[in-house]
Structures are given as structure tokens and as C-alpha cells.
Amino acid sequence: MPDMNTVQTIELWPLGIYLLIALIIVAGMIGLSYVLGQRHTGRAMGEPYESGMVTTGAAHVRFDVKFYLIAMFFVIFDLEAVFIFAWAVAVREAGWAGYIEILVFIGVLVAALLYLWRLGALEWGTSARNKGMSERRNY
């Protein structure tokens, strides 16, 4: 049995060899692409590639905020689906306490979804309620 006071050394040379081989492969690939690659300059060479078409106009397009809201809602609710899937994998180990916790979790999700729905954050067009409010403002 080894003495507890001795420090065990970890051999790191396999990791070093692995990193060296990875660097050699990456450098080789970059070097080969530089040596074998084509070098030409064209009219549209310095412009961004847009599906083979020459770009016209400005690249900055204004998007409606609704696009970003829907994207954020998707990410949030998709992340919650990951949590529910993780609970489903460990449902037997979680027991009744885990079941009650997931019910509370889903209840909070449903409440948030109902709040967003009532707020009108999920509507693309103008609703009747918003039309009525805008007509009242005009008077």
C-alpha cells in the first residue's frame, strides 16, 4: 500500500501528444488550403455572399419587434420543455414530491402563457381591442 504522504504524479504526456497532433492536423489543413486554393479577384469578391446574387441596397433591414418577441417566447418555452423532459427521465426517482413540483412548474408555465395571450403578445395582427383603443385615441 503506498504511503499517504507521497504525492501521486499524473502523467500528462498523452494529453500533450494529443494536442500536438491536433495542432499539426489543423495547421496542415490551413496550409494545404492556402497552397492549393484559388486566388482570384472579381467584381463581387469583396462583397458578402447572398446566394450567388449581387447585392443591391442596404443590408440593414428593420424588423418588427414581434419577430423578436416570438423568438424569445420560443426559446423560453423550449427551454422549459427540456426541464420537463429531464423530469420525465427521472420520474421514478423523484417520487410524489417531484410530481407535485412538476405540476407547480407547469402551472406557472400555463399562467405565463395565459398572461402573454391576454396581453396580446402572441398576436401578429391588430386585434379588435387594439383597434377600438386606437379609434378612441383619435377622438
Count helices and strands in the chain by DSSP H and E runs? 4, 0
Q: Are 106 and 84 in contact (CB under 8 A)?
A: yes
Please give the average per-residue pLDDT across 71-96, as a whole number.
87
Average pLDDT value for residue range 51-61? 68
Among 3, 12, 131, 127, which residue's Cα sits nearest to residue 66? 127
Residue type, 7: V
The set of residues, in sequence order, having a beta carbon less than 8 Å from that of 127 and lying 6+ positions away, is 120
At 94, the pLDDT band (50, 70, 90 cuts) reads confident
Nearest by Cα to 88 from 111, 112, 80? 80
Would the pLDDT of 43 be above 70?
Answer: no
Q: 56 versus 107: which is more confidently predicted?
A: 107
Domains in the chain (CATH in brackets) are 65-138 (1.20.58.1610)
The arithmetic mean of pLDDT across residues 122-131, rounded, is 62
24 has a pLDDT exceeding 70: yes
Output 122 or 138, whichever has higher pLDDT: 122
With 90 as the cut, is the pLDDT of residue 123 above it? no
Tell me the C-alpha to C-alpha distance, in Å, between residue 136 and each of 82, 123, 131, 139: 44, 21, 9, 6
- Computed over every residue of the chain, the mean pLDDT equals 79
Task: Say whether pTM exceeds 0.75.
Answer: no
